[in-house]
Every structure is written in C-alpha cells, then in structure tokens.
Amino acid sequence: MLDIKKADPPDFLLEFIEEKSNASYKNMRGDMRKDLRHYIAYNEQCKSSRCFCAYCEREIVVNSDNANGSHIEHIKPQSRFPEDDLDYDNMIVSCNAKESCGIRKGSHYFEGFIDPVNFSPDVFFIYDLMTGEIIPKEGIKDSNTPAYKSLDLLGLNSVRLTDARKRVIVEIDNLLKFMKKEDIRHFLKQFPSLLDYMLK
Ligand SMILES: [Zn+2]
C-alpha cells in the first residue's frame, strides 16, 4: 500500500462544490471525474514517470479507460457515507483489478480500516520475502485486527499479487548484485514500497 500525502484539492473541484447546492460525486460530469482522477494520480501516486494503484501498487495507466486503467476510489464508500463523497481526502486512485483493491472492496468499510491516506502502512505491514505476502507486523497478526481485516478486504494477498511480488523480489535481489540501490528504483515498474522495504 502506498503512503499517500494528499495534495490540496484542485480549484475545479472546489468550484464545483461551491456552485452547486446539490453537488455530489454522482452528478459530477464524466470529464470532470477524469480530470480529478488524473489530478489525484499525478500529484500523489506517481514516481519517476510511473503511477501506482494506491492499494496493490501495481502500475496503473492513468490515461487509459480500459481494464488496465484506474478509477477514483472512495475510502469511505459513497453508498454508505454520502456526506464524504466530495471530500478530497476521501478519494484515491485504484486499479481496476476485479479480485483486489477498490473494486473488490466495493461498498465495504469498517471502523479502523487501514487506508493509505490516514495511516502509514509501513507501521502496520511488512513483507514475507519468501511467499511475496504482505503480513501484519508482529503483535497484530490476530485475524480480528484491522491490519489483517484490511488486507483481506482488499485482497492484497491474491495469488496474482503474491506471484508478481515474488518475481520482483528476485529481480531486486539480482539487480542489487551490480547496481546501486538508488538506481534500481528506475527499473521497477511496480511495488515501490516493497523496494523500500528490501532496501532498508
Ligand atoms: Zn490495485
């Protein structure tokens, strides 16, 4: 999970909220939603010309509308928290994978859900470098803890993701033999936090 520092909301969002007394995310035009998604991604979720899903950290193609693309994810879901649907800090950009992240989460949410805006994920999670899994830190491994439940809700240990992480772990290990730590970052197309964890 990325550790997201929210930027200031864009002027066009503030104007939209100010001008319409009944402003809601639902009645925001498609082109404005697209501009908003681009604004969030480029300001908060891109590094070295690559952009990443807030949850799984796979690369997202922000300009694409197809399955490799992305969508605006409301941390507190719109259906249950309509009062937060235009709260800029409640919006992040997720990939469009069906078995993980924003689409899997859907309208689910629970108090204490560990999101990438209000929490620093590295306080809660570490990586198992053998299995490619993200695991809660020692002491919070119980299946009732928010850390465990958040991983489960987001599907962050799906086989697709753990396999991809395992491949990146091997790649990083190989690159470390002849490349400086700082240079490895430019080679990797996904999982920036995994790289940070391994380079600690
Ligand atoms: Zn994702």
Cα(20) to ligand 1 centroid in Å equals: 32
- Are 172 and 184 in contact by the 8 Å Cβ rule? The answer is yes
Q: What is the pLDDT along the chain (200 residues), one digit of tens a residue?
A: 999 999 999 999 999 999 988 899 999 999 999 999 999 999 999 987 899 999 999 999 888 665 468 999 999 999 999 999 999 999 999 999 999 999 999 999 999 999 999 999 999 999 999 999 999 997 766 778 999 999 999 999 999 999 999 999 999 999 999 998 888 888 888 999 999 999 88
Looking at residue 53, what is its pLDDT? Answer: 97
In a domain? residue 3: no
- Determine whether 127 is exposed, middle or buried from the number of CB atoms within 10 Å of its CB (0-12, 13-18, 19+): middle
d(CA 131, CA 50): 25
- Are 20 and 13 in contact by the 8 Å Cβ rule? The answer is no
In a domain? residue 187: yes
Q: What is the pTM of this model?
A: 0.94
Token pair 């395992």 in the structure block, residue:
166
Cα(37) to ligand 1 centroid in Å equals: 15
Its domain, for residue 53, covers 11-199
Torsion, Cα 139 6 190 69, to 10 degrees, reads 120
d(CA 51, CA 61): 7
In a domain? residue 169: yes
In a domain? residue 4: no
Cα(53) to ligand 1 centroid in Å equals: 5
In a domain? residue 102: yes
Q: What is the count of structural domains for the chain? A: 1
In a domain? residue 2: no
Cα(19) to ligand 1 centroid in Å equals: 33
Looking at residue 66, what is its pLDDT? Answer: 59
